[in-house]
Amino acid sequence: MIGFIVFAVGSLTALVAGIVAPANGTIILVLVILGIIVGAININTTEIVPLLIAAVALI
């Protein structure tokens, strides 16, 4: 539930920020942090191995 709430807040923030201040560095930083939180919260135990493989492939 927390992941969905953070996702909704991030989506709303992205929509408003894109209209009001599209080049604001602070808003971009907040959206990046919210994205990391949503990604970390929504990882299931069945997704751990593919996540690790993808991380190794990116490195």
CA 27 – CA 10 distance, rounded (Å): 10
At 53 the pLDDT is: 92
Q: What is the mean pLDDT of residues 34-54?
A: 83
What is this structure's pTM? 0.60
How many CA atoms lie within 13 Å of 47's alpha carbon, on the beta-carbon side? Answer: 7
What are 3-22's pLDDT values in tens digits?
Answer: 778 778 878 888 888 888 87
Arithmetic mean of pLDDT over the chain? 83
Q: What is the mean pLDDT of residues 14-36?
A: 83
User: For the chain, what's the residue count?
Assistant: 59
Q: So what's the pLDDT on residue 56?
A: 93
Distance (Å, rounded) from C-alpha 17 to C-alpha 39?
A: 21
